[in-house]
Chains A and B, each alone.
Chain A
Amino acid sequence: MRKVLVVEDSSSARAFVRAVLEDDAFAGPIGGCEVVEASCGFDAMRLLPRGPYALIITDINMADINGLELIHFIRKSEHHRSTPLIIISTLAGERDIERGLALGANAYLPKPFTPEQLRDACTRVMNAAVTPAAAGKGEK
């Protein structure tokens, strides 16, 4: 069972992401997916120590702690600095997305996205995160 932290202040966007990640098309191949929802940056900070997470998905435009501040916090943390992280945000925040990637996000997915696009992005960054370690184990 892989744990995914979804940080998003919109309850229906969280429900959308949960529906996609819990669907067999995504959860099946990775042996099940447990979605942990955070409705704001503070919630995310409270939930981070309850990891480890196989993936973190975060919005940018949130009240109080915005997504950029959260990414900064996550990447400064030794426990979460290499956790795959995807930004989900609308294209209006293009400059904010650039900053998010500079702070250490692995990918961004502009809203609106389709279930397939979300699945593909999640699979891609999770595979990219496990591949070097897996390859490393095979090396003598």
Chain B
Amino acid sequence: MAEIGGGGGRGDGAADKAREEFFSEAQELVDGLGRDLLALDEGLKRGSTDPELINDVFRAVHTLKGLSGLFGAARMTGLSHELEDVLDDLRLGRIELGPNVLDLLFQAVELYARILAAEKGAQPEPAAEVEALLVALGQVSQHRAGGGAGLVAQYDLDPGLLGVLTEYEEHRLRTNITAGLALYRIRVRFALATIDSALDDLKAKTRPHGEIITYLPTGSGADIETI
């Protein structure tokens, strides 16, 4: 594991706390991954794939990659790196989610749990199994297809809005345009104190009608009450 502090002061205790936090957060993320994959599996059996769920899985692996890198858990970083590539292809529509890919993702969850146990010194690292999975994941990424990158540019959209879209959000915008869906810009005023729950309400109300691509907060930044 990497050394964080070293200069003394309040940082020493904080470094120990950070390492403990890493183990518990990584475990939570791996548990959540398992649940999300089960939900994806159920969806697949019904013939549907929830893009939001795939994005959640991507974000969990993305976080695990960043964290394992920070805390020096190299094998977890290596596995996350390859997984992230596959999940990025999945969420950006470059590959399809099928039973084979899902099976590899389930294997990854199991290996994450074993790597974590190894990091805590409880058992040896599953080196050979991780290597075998990395090879299989690498083969999945070779079958990716290209996206229709120029499509969004054909619409008269506010450049200020396009400038804050992440690559994933831009892909979702493109996918919805391709599907022939209309685009709407909704302006809402929220109290900052309750914005989380208010936004959850808004999401629940809009979900049957479409997908929220992005949020563009406006305000002075000095107003403590509303945005």
Contacts and interface: CB of A to CB of B under 8 A. Distances in A.
Interface of A: 9-13, 15-16, 18-28, 41-42, 45-46, 48-49, 60-61, 63-66, 68-74, 76-80, 90, 92-93, 95-96, 99, 102-103, 111-115
A25 B71 contact: no
Interface in B147-166: 160, 163-166
A99 B24 CA distance: 32
A66 B166 contact: yes
A63 B196 CA distance: 11
23 contacts: A11-B21, A12-B18, A12-B26, A12-B70, A13-B70, A21-B11, A23-B11, A23-B15, A25-B11, A27-B9, A28-B9, A61-B59, A61-B166, A66-B214, A68-B164, A77-B220, A90-B65, A102-B163, A103-B163, A111-B69, A112-B69, A115-B4, A115-B6
The 10 lowest CB-CB distance pairs between A and B, nearest first, are A112-B69, A23-B11, A77-B221, A25-B7, A15-B18, A24-B9, A19-B14, A12-B21, A111-B66, A24-B7
The SS class assigned to the B binding surface is helix
B2 interface: yes
Nearest to A25: B7
A16 B223 CA distance: 30
A95 to B, nearest CB: 5
Nearest to B190: A42
Contacts of A96: 166-167
A23 B5 contact: yes
A10 B67 contact: yes
A73 B215 CA distance: 11
A10 to B, nearest CB: 5
B126 to A, nearest CB: 22
B171 to A, nearest CB: 11
B193 A19 contact: no
Contacts of A71: 164
Contact of B14 (A22, A70, A113): A22
Interface in B1-41: 2-12, 14-15, 17-18, 21-22, 24-26
B7 A28 contact: yes
Interface residues of B, number: 58
A74 B85 CA distance: 31
A15 B21 contact: yes
Interface in B170-227: 192-193, 195-196, 199, 214-224, 227
Given A49-B222, A69-B164, A77-B220, A42 B196 contact: yes
Given A13-B67, A22-B11, A27-B11, A99 B164 contact: yes
Contacts of A28: 7, 9
Contacts of B88: 92
B227 A45 contact: yes
Contact of A79 (B7, B59, B85, B220): B220
A42 B217 CA distance: 9
Contacts of B7: 23-26, 28
B70 A99 contact: no
Interface-centre pick from B18, B77, B88 (highest chain A CB count, 10 A): B18
Given A78-B222, A92-B62, A45 B217 contact: yes
